[in-house]
Amino acid sequence: MRIEKAVMTLKNYTESKERSPSSAVREAAEDYVRACELINTDLARLEELLNKNLRSEAMQYANIEPRIEDQVAQLNFPGRIDFEMMAAFQDLPVGSPLKMEVIENLQSAYAEYQSLEHQYRNLRKLVLERAPVGERVKALREIAMLDRINATLIEDLAVLEKQLQVELLNTIRKSAQTGDIQEMFEAKEEFKQNWINPPAPGVLNEVETITSKKQEEYSSKELTDLANRGMSYVRAKDYQNAKKCYESWAAVAGRVGVKQGDSYWARIEPLYLWLQKYENDSKVKEFADMQLFALRKALLEVVLDGKCAQRIAEVERMYAEAESAGAKIPKDLQGLFDSTINRMDEYRKKQELFVLAGLFAGGIILLLAFLIWMVARSR
């Protein structure tokens, strides 16, 4: 009897409340028990796969026709519990309980897979397009970070990583021959990944040997080129580009351990000294310009009053400081200084004459007063 018919027979029997089961009911019960045993065997296998974190394999196994979930849903018919209770009194066979918890675990696996569906779709696309191994490794790592229970995924990643390591080593070998330093060091950086199975020590030693040798050759040429270019900027008195060249040279030198006193330093030392002198001269000039600015400001803000003598001394002091700072006094500022000093000096002299005149007038008045007093007294 087909299981669909057997389930329908048992369902009808349960709903009819018949006391004595017919031969058809007994046959249906026997078919139902056999079906439960078979599906429980499948559920046990499914449970084993899930317990081993073989989620993809478990989902594939569950979806083989007829699907396990469909069979369980069919066997777990409404009224099943009532039938089992009646069967105990009517001497009908009763199957083993269905492993429903396995179905729940399977549904959880489906939910986890759906959350990673986009990443898996992208991975399948890369595989179909025969994308570079590095891109596929990156996609697999992204999934592995989120899907830690997929053991097959980890195995696939380990295989791809091994291929990538071979490709990177071949790239370094080829780049060393062609002189493509950038490609070589980019490949070397790729070896710093977090591998499932790290590269063999022999591979890493070969990478280090090749790159170190080429690094030394490349650095030597780069240091020489930068020193020559920097000196050309010195001759052109191009401070900005000369400084950039020196900074680039210093970065390379620091990377390869160049120190003052060796042959590489001897090439760059004239540039270094020129930059120091230029910067010192610039600081001196900046200070001198500040002194000139302060002097000009003071001259323009001069007020003619009773403090002219003090102001003359102040601007003369500022003038002397500007000269001592190495400032070259512009003609217009020199003219402003001279004219301002003259104006203040003339004003000061006028003030002094005015004071003297006042004193003289006061003396005359006192003398007249004294004479008047004497005349008055003689009378």
Of the candidate ranges 8-22, 33-47, 103-117, 124-138, the one whose mean pLDDT is the lowest:
124-138
Of the candidate ranges 47-61, 102-116, 123-137, the one whose mean pLDDT is the lowest:
123-137
Question: What pTM was computed for the model?
Answer: 0.38
Name the residue with tokens 């270094």: 272
Residue 128 reports pLDDT greater than 60: no
* Model confidence pLDDT, tens digit, residues 291-336: 888 888 888 887 777 777 788 888 888 888 887 777 788 888 888 8
**Domain-by-domain residue ranges, the chain?**
3-112, 116-192, 219-286, 302-374
- In this predicted structure, what is the pLDDT of residue 257? 67
In sequence order, the 6+-apart residues with CB closer than 8 A to the CB of 93 are 29, 30, 33, 87
Write out the chain in H/E/C secondary structure: CCHHHHHHHHHHHHHHCCCCCCHHHHHHHHHHHHHHHHHHHHHHHHHHHHHCCCHHHHHHHHCCCCCHHHHHHHHCCCCHHHHHHHHHHHCCCCCCCCCHHHHHHHHHHHHHHHHCHHHHHHHHHHHHCCCCHHHHHHHHHHHHHHCCCCHHHHHHHHHHHHHHHHHHHHHHHHHHHHCCHHHHHHHHHHCCCCCCCCCCHHHHHHHHHHHHHHHHHHHHHHHHHHHHHHHHHHHCCCHHHHHHHHHHHHHHHHHHCCCCCCHHHHHHHHHHHHHHHHHHHHHHHHHHHHHHHHHHHHHHCCCCCCCHHHHHHHHHHHHHHHHHCCCCCCHHHHHHHHHHHHHHHHHHHHHHHHHHHHHHHHHHHHHHHHHHHHHHHHC
Q: How many other C-beta atoms can be found within 10 angstroms of the C-beta atom of residue 122?
A: 15
* Model confidence pLDDT, tens digit, residues 72-125: 888 888 888 887 888 777 778 887 788 888 888 888 877 777 766 666 666 566
- In this predicted structure, what is the pLDDT of residue 340? 85
Of the candidate ranges 58-62, 101-105, 368-372, 375-379, the one whose mean pLDDT is the lowest:
375-379
CA atoms within 13 A on the CB side of 127: 11
Residue 30 reports pLDDT greater than 70: yes
Mean pLDDT of the chain: 80
- In this predicted structure, what is the pLDDT of residue 271? 86
pLDDT tier, 142 (very low <50, low <70, confident <90, very high otherwise)? low
Per-residue pLDDT averaged across 254-279, rounded?
Answer: 79
- In this predicted structure, what is the pLDDT of residue 125? 66
Q: How many other C-beta atoms can be found within 10 angstroms of the C-beta atom of residue 326?
A: 12
- In this predicted structure, what is the pLDDT of residue 87? 78
Per-residue pLDDT averaged across 37-58, rounded?
Answer: 84
Of the candidate ranges 91-95, 114-118, 146-150, 235-239, the one whose mean pLDDT is the lowest:
146-150
Per-residue pLDDT averaged across 224-241, rounded?
Answer: 87
- In this predicted structure, what is the pLDDT of residue 356? 80
- In this predicted structure, what is the pLDDT of residue 305? 77
Percent of the chain at pLDDT > 70 equals 88
Per-residue pLDDT averaged across 169-184, rounded?
Answer: 82
